[in-house]
Structure formats: structure tokens, C-alpha cells
Structure 1
Amino acid sequence: MSHHLLGSRRWTLRTLALLVSASLLSIVPFTGTASAHGSTINPASRNYGCWQRWGNDFQNPSMQQQDPMCWQAWQSDTTAMWNWNGLYRENVAGNHQGAIPNGQLCSAGLTSAGRYRSMDTPGAWKTTTLSRTFNINLWDQASHGANYIRVYISRQGYNATTTPLSWSNLELVRETGRYAPGNTYMINNISAGSRTGRHVVYTIWQASHMDQSFYFCSDVVF
């Protein structure tokens, strides 16, 4: 066989291998060290929503027009979506406001060397429509349990499309007791009060297996 044909055949095999790898990547979530944790899945956190909508199609250029906030997030760091369940900090000792600066609430204070920094970007994130009395479904993949779960809602007048989230934009509306280890936790009958329109639901899950705190921004419309 000629060197030209051998080179062409090797190139074809390498191309096929790359295509197969890309296909597998598009359907198999990243399973790094942060994969066995959790997130709010309804209403979806920002990065869980991006993974849910685009995890099987993350190279589709249509994302830029159809879902521009997810587009900028994928471009910033794809592992922020593959590791949608790894957005946490350790050893906060309950001092969440001291550990997480204003403007960095959705990235847990640029945790994991800034992997989730795109979550802090204000803009037209896709929303979940909720009634003024609503539930939160939190997924705990590793069954860590919870010492407590805190639910905040942005104050009326806060504009998530133009302003990064700060603590002063939030009102604490629920703090739960402990949850035994399991895979899903429901926080039921949360009241949004008289809020209408677009808001951010900010959820803090304090895991009970160690001092590990998870932080989730979910964009909603009441």
C-alpha cells in the first residue's frame, strides 16, 4: 500500500475516533470528583437548566440565539454544566454572607477556581413559571442529607437581567429543619407573597455529611 493511501487511512481512522468520542461526550455527563452532589432541579438552577436543555446538543450553534445565557456559560467553562451538581463551598461554618461576596452569589463566591463565574452574569436566563405558592425539588445524588435548606427570593423591583445578585436583593422566606439522607428533598408550600414577574429563587443547601454548603440560583416568573 502506498504511503499516500496509508496516510489517508490513518487520517480517516483518527477522524472517526474523534467523532465517536464527541458523540459519547454529548450523551454522557461529566463524572469528575464533583459529580456526586446535587442541585435544585425544579425550579432548575442556572447550570442544571443549561445542562438539561443542551447537554446532548452543546455544540449546536443555535444555542447562541435560542439560549444566549447558556451559550455564554458553555463558552466560559463547559465543566460548569457537566458538573452542574458541584456548586459548593466547604468550611463556611454557617457564615454564608461572609463567605460569598455580593455579585458572586450564583457562583458561590467564584468557587472551584471560578469554574461557575458565568452563573453570576446578569441576563435573560430561561425561567420557570411558578404560582405564588410553590415547591422546590432538590436532588441529592450522593444522599448527603441536609442540616437545613434556606430559600430566599429576590425583592420586588430587582432586575436579574441587568444586575448581579447581592444579599440585599434577597429576602429569606423559609428555613427547613434536617432532612435524612435521601436522593430528593421537597420544600413545600413556599410563599412568594405579593411578588409578580421575574425573580431569582436562591437556595442554600447545608449538607449534613460535612461542612459543605451548596448555592443555587433559579430564575422564575411568578
Structure 2
Amino acid sequence: MRSDQSGPPSRSAFHRPLRALVLVLALVIGLLPGAGAAQAHGTIVGPASRAYHCWQAWGNNHTNPAMQQQDPMCWQAFQANADTMWNWMSALRDGLGGNYQAATPDGQLCSNGLARNNSLNQPGAWKTTTVGNNFSVHLYDQASHGADFLRVYVSKNGYNPATQRLGWGNLDFITQTGRYAPAQNITFNVSTSGYTGHHIVFVIWQASHLDQAYMWCSDVTFA
């Protein structure tokens, strides 16, 4: 005589469709504008912005005490707020309407006026990328928002990044690009002359999808 095995469904049978529904909802939410990956943007990876350099050099080794001697500016930045480096792609401000200078006080340019990133404003022995008079700027944008334009400045001769915070009066305007279609990688050439030694390349990215402005400092040595 066959025994009846048709009892009530097990708890795991109920949980399987529930887990599947949760996964589907997470996927849908992640694809919505302003959610998940859409919150990730980008930075200048060449020559590397300050936060990106620190993340690239020390992100997987950020508790190593050797950083204090080998890369003291990254050390102080990690001590001040490690989130500055973990979120190197998200240093944005909304709704500036192109009024970058009015909205960003002197001494706060490298942090894009964000208090949480103030460590990036500190003068000191930041690691530099060696460039020539003609060099390329490379924007990496995880979310492929495109650009209304990118504006490039170089710190003036006589300004000392090791002892001075960067102000608008310390900058020479170099160039402004045109629009770029959405892409993860945007690269363009910059031509300069007359610079030697340690300078800051300061870049403003006006993203295309919304009125979002990004500002970064990249430390370079003109050779």
C-alpha cells in the first residue's frame, strides 16, 4: 500500500520564489536612474587625481603603516576620511549653474567644496605624475554620462603645492573642450608651455545628464 507523501509545501518551497522576487527587484532598482551604479560617476585617472591615486596605490593596503613614510599625503587623507578614497568617483555637486568660482571658496578647489573631502586640499608632498608640455587628460566615467565640456587649468609658476592650498588666483586657464557623447572613457590632448617642476592640473567636468559639476586636482611634474 502506497503511503501518501502529499503533505503541505515545505518552508524552503515558499522561500525559493521569494528569494527570486527579491533578486529581480534588486536588479530593476539598480537599473533605475539615480540608483545603484548610476550613483557612480568618475574622475581623472590620467594624470591621476589625488583621491584616485591614493585609492589606486593603497586601497588594498590602506592599513599598512609604511604609507605614513612612503606617501604621507595619502596617509593623512586615509586618516581623515577613508571614504574620500573609496568614493573617488562620486565627488559631485548639483545645481551650480556654471558658477564654479562663486560656489567654491579658495582653498577648497581640490575637494570640490565638499567638507568630507577636505584632506585633498591639504598642501604637502603629494605624489606626482611626470608629464611633458603636451599631455593627455583621461576621464573615466563609470556611468557614461558624457560631458557638456571639460575645463583645464594649470597652477601658476611661483605657486607651491607643498605649502599652499589652491585658490582661483593660483590658476592659469589652459583650455575648454567641446561636448562629448556618453562614454566610459574620454581622452583629449592638452598643450602647455613654460611650466617646470611640481604643478597642479585642475579639471572641471560639467556632466551632461544633469547639472552636476566635478572638480579635481592632479599633481604633476613637468619635465
The TM-score bracket by the shorter chain reads 0.7 to 0.9
Q: Report the Cα distance in structure 1 between the residues aligned to 2:116 and 2:49, rounded to whole angstroms.
A: 15
C-alpha displacement at 1:88, in angstroms? 1.4
C-alpha displacement at 1:73, in angstroms? 0.1
Aligned twin of 2:198: 198
C-alpha displacement at 1:101, in angstroms? 0.4
Per-residue deviation, residues 168-200 of structure 1 (Å, max 9, x unmatched): 000110100000000010121x12211111100
Matched, 1:101 2:102: no
Aligned length: 188
Aligned twin of 1:15: none
Aligned partners of 2:38 and 2:143 also within 8 Å: no
Question: Residue 110 of structure 2: SS of its match in structure 1?
Answer: helix
Q: Report the Cα distance in structure 2 between the residues aligned to 1:187 and 1:88, rounded to whole angstroms.
A: 21
Aligned twin of 2:61: 57
Q: Report the Cα distance in structure 1 between the residues aligned to 2:53 and 2:80, rounded to whole angstroms.
A: 16
Question: Residue 52 of structure 1: SS of its match in structure 2?
Answer: helix
**What amino acid is aligned across from residue 128 of structure 1 in structure 2?**
T
CA distance change for structure 1 residues 182 and 34 in 2, over 3 Å: closer, same or farther?
Answer: closer
**What amino acid is aligned across from residue 170 of structure 1 in structure 2?**
L
**What amino acid is aligned across from residue 102 of structure 2 in structure 1?**
G
Aligned twin of 1:174: 175
Superposition RMSD in Å:
1.4
Q: Report the Cα distance in structure 1 between the residues aligned to 2:92 and 2:38, rounded to whole angstroms.
A: 9
TM-score w.r.t. the length of structure 2 is 0.82
Aligned twin of 1:129: 130
Q: Report the Cα distance in structure 1 between the residues aligned to 2:188 and 2:105, rounded to whole angstroms.
A: 26
Q: Report the Cα distance in structure 2 between the residues aligned to 1:168 and 1:186, rounded to whole angstroms.
A: 27
| Structure 1 residues 152-163: aligned runs within 5 Å | 152-163=153-164
CA distance change for structure 1 residues 116 and 33 in 2, over 3 Å: closer, same or farther?
Answer: farther
Per-residue deviation, residues 5-31 of structure 1 (Å, max 9, x unmatched): xxxxxxxxxxxxxxxxxxxxxxxxxxx
Which consecutive unaligned segments of at least 5 residues does structure 2 have? 1-35
Aligned twin of 2:27: none
Q: Report the Cα distance in structure 1 between the residues aligned to 2:192 and 2:76, rounded to whole angstroms.
A: 30
Q: Of 45, 51, 73, which residue of structure 1 is paired with 2:49?
A: 45
Off by >4 Å, runs of 4+ in structure 1: 32-35
**What amino acid is aligned across from residue 145 of structure 1 in structure 2?**
G
Aligned twin of 1:6: none
Q: Report the Cα distance in structure 2 between the residues aligned to 1:186 and 1:192, rounded to whole angstroms.
A: 16
Aligned partners of 2:129 and 2:221 also within 8 Å: yes
CA distance change for structure 1 residues 34 and 162 in 2, over 3 Å: closer, same or farther?
Answer: farther
Question: Residue 221 of structure 1: SS of its match in structure 2?
Answer: strand
Aligned partners of 1:34 and 1:85 also within 8 Å: no
Matched, 1:214 2:214: yes
* Larger radius of gyration between Structure 1 and Structure 2: 2
Question: Residue 201 of structure 2: SS of its match in structure 1?
Answer: strand
Question: Residue 43 of structure 2: SS of its match in structure 1?
Answer: strand
Question: Residue 106 of structure 1: SS of its match in structure 2?
Answer: coil
TM-score w.r.t. the length of structure 1 is 0.82
Aligned partners of 2:37 and 2:143 also within 8 Å: no
Question: Residue 64 of structure 1: SS of its match in structure 2?
Answer: helix
